[in-house]
Amino acid sequence: MNTITGKILKLNGWPDGKIIGLAKDIAATLAETGLEREDVLSRLDLVRQNPGGFLADPQMAELARECLRLMPKEKTKTDLRETPLQYPIWGREAIDDGSLAQMDNAMRLPISVAGALMPDAHVGYGLPIGGVLATDNAVIPYAVGVDIACRMRLSIYEVSPHLLGQKKGLFEAALWDQTAFGVGAQWKGRDRAEHEVLDDPAWNATRLLQSLQDNAARQLGTSGTGNHFVEWGAFRLHEPLFGLKPGEYLALLSHSGSRSVGFKIADSYSKLAMELRPDLDQSVRHLAWLSLDSEEGQEYWLSMELAGRFAAANHAIIHQRVAEAVGLKAAATVENHHNFAWEQVLPDGRTVIVHRKGATPAGKGVLGVIPGSMGDPGYLVRGKGVSQSLDSASHGAGRLMSRKQALNIISKSARDAYLKERGVTLLGAGLDESPQAYKPIEQVIAAQADLVDVMGKFSPRIVRMADEAGQY
């Protein structure tokens, strides 16, 4: 007989209270499917060992939440260190003092373990853009960023980039017709995309995610404002890749994130983290964290990962639609997040949470894309796995001017002359995204030569961006 009683559960380490009743009910349901007693107990133990992994499981979610609620409460203090932990900096000469001050503050947090600053660094909210921060069993929503899973995707087509000149109208039309940009950008009716991410069970894990599922369906395959783009270009491959020989290819490059889904997740859990740490020094209030032993921390982690899958689906839909419009099929694809958090093991064996807020994963052999600007090249890179950088590299060129400064300083004629000289056609975009507002990408790449190998170079030719300026 496979009946599992409360006594059996207690003998297997389950505590008294509501949790044992939940476990008992699930055990009975599993036993009805024909599972042996030991198999049922093993499944229940999996929930107890990793409750966060079952928050989206309809059968196990309530038990998982009860497991999280019964976890020992964290004893981490909110007092800052007197002095920040030391951290390495790449490209120091081109990084402003404000970014250094923000990184110093992050390294004073009691949960901080290690950090690094990339050469494209500039001031952000809480953690600077280009900041990499490792923490102990805690996640910081603002250190992931507001646009969760902002990411890159490069598709390479086994045809000559000369097609862009020969059929320019066709390639421009594909960008105009098959992309949607802006704060409220969405697809309607028959134009809405279909993708398995919309059926992901994680949408039912929390009330917030349930409320965002319709938004996700409307915005799937769209891009935001600011530095989000979809662009055709010429790609020079320096060494063999996925069966492609070195040479010149036509390529499509995109940069965007998880749209309003990610923004609302970030906004909700950032506010919650700050509410849970009222004693945290005001200078670092945007770096308030959530313990991964808490229900809130596990909810955020699950939501962040769902936003990551949604952002990846966004790019997949964009590339599929744009390529189909010109009759092409990708021969190779490379993609990566650069606003995200990952579990990572340090050389000393410690498991930490590595936040990359505007930084590219660059573990040994890991491929990534580091873009320049609308008028400057981007690079396909392969990580060298440098532990001092927490296996990271820059996520782009990095801003030289704030958006407000760019709008006040750079004229339309100056921007257009820069683009014309480089053979770039611009579709949309505000002056705040002018190439002159960014650091020289070649210098940024050179500053991290010890972090990545350059495998290829993408030169933009037809660039689609949002017409409105991004947020200051």
CATH number at residue 376: 3.90.1860.10
Structural domain range at position 36 = 6-69
Query: Among 47-61, 171-185, 261-275, where is mean pLDDT lowest?
Result: 47-61
Chain-centroid distance of CA 358 in Å reads: 8
Residue 168 counted as domain residue: yes
Q: What pLDDT sits at residue 31?
A: 83
Same domain? For 60 and 153 the reply is: no
Domain-ending residue, one of 69, 88, 105:
69
pLDDT beyond 60 at 364: yes
Per-residue confidence at 394, pLDDT binned at 50, 70, 90?
Answer: very high
Per-residue confidence at 13, pLDDT binned at 50, 70, 90?
Answer: confident
Same domain? For 60 and 204 the reply is: no
Same domain? For 227 and 350 the reply is: yes
User: How many helices (H) and strands (E) in the chain?
Assistant: 14, 16
Q: What pLDDT sits at residue 471?
A: 54
Residue 76 counted as domain residue: no
Domain-ending residue, one of 19, 44, 69:
69
Residue 77 counted as domain residue: no
Residue 210 counted as domain residue: yes
Q: Please give the average per-residue pLDDT across 272-299, as a whole number.
A: 95
Per-residue confidence at 467, pLDDT binned at 50, 70, 90?
Answer: confident
Residue 267 counted as domain residue: yes
Same domain? For 41 and 172 the reply is: no
Same domain? For 61 and 150 the reply is: no
pLDDT beyond 70 at 75: no
Per-residue confidence at 67, pLDDT binned at 50, 70, 90?
Answer: confident
How are beta strands 229-237 and 138-139 bridged, if at all?
unpaired
Query: DSSP 3-state assignment of 83?
Result: coil
Residue 95 counted as domain residue: no
Q: What does the pLDDT look like over 416-427, one tens digit per residue?
A: 999 999 999 999
pLDDT beyond 90 at 315: yes
Same domain? For 47 and 179 the reply is: no
Residue 296 counted as domain residue: yes
State pTM to two decimals: 0.93
Could you write out the DSSP letters of every residue in 379-444?
EEEEE---GGGTSEEESSS-BSS-HHHHHHH--HHHHHHHHHHTT-EEES--GGG-GGGB--HHHH
Same domain? For 292 and 380 the reply is: yes
**What stretches of 140-212 adopt beta strand conformation (E)?**
151-157
Alpha-carbon distance of 350 to 343, in angstroms, equals 10
Q: Please give the average per-residue pLDDT across 355-379, as a whole number.
A: 97
Same domain? For 161 and 59 the reply is: no
Closest CA to 359 of 207, 205, 133: 133
Same domain? For 258 and 171 the reply is: yes
Q: Which residues contact 370 (CB under 8 A, 6 or more apart)?
A: 152, 360, 378, 379, 381, 393, 394, 395, 396, 441, 444, 445, 452
Same domain? For 337 and 214 the reply is: yes
Per-residue confidence at 196, pLDDT binned at 50, 70, 90?
Answer: very high
Same domain? For 147 and 55 the reply is: no
Per-residue confidence at 472, pLDDT binned at 50, 70, 90?
Answer: very low
Q: Which residues contact 165 (CB under 8 A, 6 or more apart)?
A: none
Domain-ending residue, one of 17, 40, 69:
69
Q: What does the pLDDT look like over 113-151, one tens digit per residue?
A: 999 999 999 999 889 999 999 999 999 999 999 999 999
Number of domains in the chain: 2
* Residue 198 tokens, joined: 């919309």
Residue 114 counted as domain residue: no
